Amino acid sequence: MLAELARMYVSYNFTPRADLLVIDDTLANLRLLVNLLRENGYKVRAVSNGYEALETIQKSPPDLILLDILMPDLSGYQVCQILKEDIITRDIPIIFLSALSDGLDKVKAFSVGGSDYITKPFQVEEVLARVKNQLTIQWHKKQLELEILEREQAQEALRLQYQREQALNRVIRAIRNSLEISTVFSTAVTEIGQLLQADWVAIVQYLSQSNSWQPVVEYSPNSDLAKLINNKLSNSSCLLTERLQLLQTFCVKDPETVIDPFNQDLIEQYSRIWLPIPVYSDGDAWGSLSIVRHYSIPWSETDVELAVVVTDQLAIAIEQSQLYQQLHQVNQELENLANLDGLTQVANRRRFDQVLEQEWLRLRREKLPLSLILADIDYFKLYNDTYGHLAGDDCLKQVARALHQTLKRPADLVARYGGEEFAVILPNTSLTGAIQVAETIRDSVYNLQLCHETSPGQGVITLSLGVSSLIPLEAEAPQILIKKADQALYQAKNKGKNIVCYF
C-alpha cells in the first residue's frame, strides 16, 4: 500500500506529463481535446466508446478521465458508476463532457461520482483550468495519504518497540488519545516526574529570536525550585544551548556550567542533578524535556533511556499536531474548491442546491418565509461578442462581488446559478424585504458603470431580477421557489430588462 501511494506521489509531484484518458464518440471532439491537452504537456490517450474505455482503464488506470455523457453503447453515467464501484478505479477523478447544460444533468453527473462538468462547446481556458484543478486536488490527496500512512506506521513501530515499559505506555497512550498538544505535554511531564521521582520536569521550548529557553509546561512538587529556574534560566551562550542544539543528551552535575555565574542564589540552592534531553522537529532542536532531581538519586542508564523515548514521543506529537493542522487547512481548501465557483469565487450551483434544501427544511419547521432572487446579466452574450470572453469573465467577477457585498447577513447566500445567471437565497425574509434587496442589487450593479456600448439598453451592464417568496409547506419542494423566481425573471426580461419583478 505504501509503495503504491509513493508511486502515485511521484507521479503527481514529479512527472511533468499527467496521463489523461479522453472518452468521446464524436471524432471531432476527440481530436480537439487530444490535440489541446497534448499541446499543453499532457500524455493523452483516447477511446470512442464506453466498453473500450473500461478495458483501457483496467489495463492502465489514468490520472484523470474526461468522459462524454451521451454515447451509444454505455452512457458516461454508466461508465462512471462502474468505475466508482471498483476499488482500483474509484478514486480516479472524472470530468464529464456534455452539450447538456440543464441543471439536473449536472446534478446527476455529480451524484454518480463525477468531479467536475464541462459544457460543450468547449472553451480552451476552461478545459485547461478544470483539468489542472482536478489534478491538483488529486495530488494533494495522495500526498496527504502518504504522509498520514507513514506517520501511523512510525507510531505503531514505536509503540511495539517500547511496550515493555508499562510506565512509558501510559505516556504513549496519552499522546495517542489526544490531538491537543497542551494535554499531551501536561500528561508527559506528570508521568515522567512521578515515575522518576523528579523535583521539576518541564518541556522547555527554544526561542531562536531571543536565543533563550522558555518553559511551556511543567510539573513541580518543589514550587520554590521551579520559581528559581523560571526566573534564572535564560543564559544565551551557555553549554545548555550549545549541547541541545547538537541534539545531545547529558547530565548537569555542576550548575556553573549551564547557569549564569551571576545567578548565585540558584547555584547555591542547586543540590540536584539536571537531565536536559533535546526534543527535535525536522532535524532541529525544538526544545528540551528537562528533568531535575536530588543528587542522592543518581541517573541510571534505564532512566535516561526512558526519558529519551518520551522525548521521541513528544517529537511525534509535535509533528502530528503540525500535520493535522496542515490536513485541516488542505481539507478547508478542498471544501472551498468543492463549494465555490472557480471564476467568481461565490458559491457554485452544488452549494446553492445544498443550502436551499437545508433552509427549506429549517424554515418549514419554523414556519418562516424563504425568499429567492434569480438575477441575469442583460445582453451578456452581446457583451462577450463585443469585448471578448476575458472581459466577460471580468464582468462576471465584478457583478458577483457587487452581489456579495450587498448581502449583510451571514445566512444570506449568493451563488453563480449558471452562465451569466446568479441566485440569492434569503432565509427568514418576506417578499417585501426580498424586493428591497433585489432593488439594492440592481442599483449596485448599475452603479458599477461597466461600459456596454452595444447594449440596446442603458449603455452599461445591468441586471434583470426575479423574486419569489413563500413559507415552505410539507407537500412542496424547493423547486417551486425556483420556478416562481424563474417566471418572475422571465417577466423582467420581457418588460425591458434592468427591472425587478416578483411572482
**Measured between alpha carbons, how far is 187 from 167 in angstroms, rounded to an integer?**
12
Cell triple for 361: 427544511
Give CA separation, 366 vs 229, 406, 467, in Å: 60, 26, 22
Statement to judge: residues 455 and 359 lie in one domain: yes
Q: What is the DSSP letter of 257?
A: G
- Three-state secondary structure call for residue 20: strand
Buried b (16+ CB within 10 A) or exposed e, 34-47: bebbeeeebebbbb
Statement to judge: residues 356 and 220 lie in one domain: no
Cell triple for 130: 478544470
Other CB atoms within a 10 A radius of the CB of residue 474 amount to: 5
CA-CA-CA-CA torsion sign (221, 225, 227, 232): negative
If you count them, how many residues does the chain have? 503
Question: What domain range includes position 29?
Answer: 14-142
Q: Which single residue is written with the C-alpha cell 446527476?
A: 108
Statement to judge: residues 493 and 367 lie in one domain: yes
pLDDT at 208 over 80: no
Statement to judge: residues 48 and 183 lie in one domain: no
DSSP class per residue in 419-460: TTEEEEEEET--HHHHHHHHHHHHHHHHTT--B-TT-SSSSB
pLDDT at 215 over 80: no
The alpha-carbon radius of gyration of the chain (Å, integer) is 32
Backbone angles phi, psi at 18, to 5 degrees: -70, 150
User: Which of 348, 330, 341, 346 has its CA nearest to residue 137?
Assistant: 330
**Measured between alpha carbons, how far is 171 from 195 in angstroms, rounded to an integer?**
11
Question: Is residue 225 a contact partner of residue 200, using CB atoms and an 8 Å limit?
Answer: yes
**Would residue 101 count as lying in a domain?**
yes
**Would residue 41 count as lying in a domain?**
yes
**Would residue 431 count as lying in a domain?**
yes
Backbone angles phi, psi at 348, to 5 degrees: -90, 180
For the chain, report the end-to-end CA distance as a whole number of angstroms: 58
Give the mean model confidence (pLDDT) for residues 119-128: 89
**pLDDT score for 308:** 81
Statement to judge: residues 84 and 187 lie in one domain: no
In sequence order, the β-bridge partners of residue 406 are none
In sequence order, the β-bridge partners of residue 47 are 23
**pLDDT score for 117:** 92
Characterise 388 by phi-psi region: left (phi > 0), alpha (psi -120 to 50), beta (else): left
**Measured between alpha carbons, how far is 69 from 81 in angstroms, rounded to an integer?**
12
- Three-state secondary structure call for residue 149: helix
**Measured between alpha carbons, how far is 266 from 233 in angstroms, rounded to an integer?**
10
**pLDDT score for 156:** 67
**Measured between alpha carbons, how far is 396 from 414 in angstroms, rounded to an integer?**
13
**Would residue 154 count as lying in a domain?**
no
- In the listed set 142, 161, 188, which residue is the last one of a domain according to the structure? 142
> Structural domain tally of the chain?
3
CATH of the domain at 473: 3.30.70.270
**Measured between alpha carbons, how far is 313 from 203 in angstroms, rounded to an integer?**
13
Give the long-range contacts of residues 57-61, CB within 8 A, separation 24 or more. Answer: 57/21, 57/83, 57/89, 57/92, 58/88, 58/89, 60/19, 61/88, 61/89, 61/92
Bridge-based pairing of strands 413-418 and 370-377 is unpaired
User: Which of 286, 292, 300 has its CA nearest to residue 271?
Assistant: 292
**Would residue 337 count as lying in a domain?**
no
**pLDDT score for 159:** 54
pTM: 0.44
**Measured between alpha carbons, how far is 437 from 443 in angstroms, rounded to an integer?**
10
Other CB atoms within a 10 A radius of the CB of residue 112 amount to: 19
**Measured between alpha carbons, how far is 444 from 401 in angstroms, rounded to an integer?**
10
**Measured between alpha carbons, how far is 103 from 349 in angstroms, rounded to an integer?**
8
**Measured between alpha carbons, how far is 502 from 187 in angstroms, rounded to an integer?**
63
Statement to judge: residues 301 and 223 lie in one domain: yes
Q: Which is more confidently placed, 258 or 168? A: 168
- In the listed set 121, 142, 163, which residue is the last one of a domain according to the structure? 142
Statement to judge: residues 95 and 18 lie in one domain: yes
Give me the catalytic one of 256, 420, 453, 476. 420
**Considering the chain, what is the average pLDDT of its residues?**
82
**Would residue 153 count as lying in a domain?**
no
Could you tell me which residues come within 8 angstroms of residue 262 by beta carbon, excluding any fewer than 6 positions away? none
Other CB atoms within a 10 A radius of the CB of residue 88 amount to: 10
Number of helices (H) and strands (E), helices first, in the chain?
17, 14
Cell triple for 96: 464529464
Q: What is the pLDDT of residues 236-261, one digit of tens each?
A: 445 455 544 444 445 555 555 554 55
pLDDT at 480 over 90: yes
**pLDDT score for 226:** 54
pLDDT at 178 over 90: no
Q: Has 420 been annotated as catalytic? A: yes
**pLDDT score for 264:** 47
Cell triple for 164: 515493555
- In the listed set 91, 122, 142, which residue is the last one of a domain according to the structure? 142
Residue type, 337: L
Statement to judge: residues 394 and 320 lie in one domain: no
Give the mean model confidence (pLDDT) for residues 370-392: 95
**Would residue 50 count as lying in a domain?**
yes
Q: What is the pLDDT of residues 318-375, one digit of tens each?
A: 777 777 778 878 887 787 778 899 899 999 999 999 999 999 999 999 999 999 999 9
Characterise 226 by phi-psi region: left (phi > 0), alpha (psi -120 to 50), beta (else): alpha
Cell triple for 189: 511531564
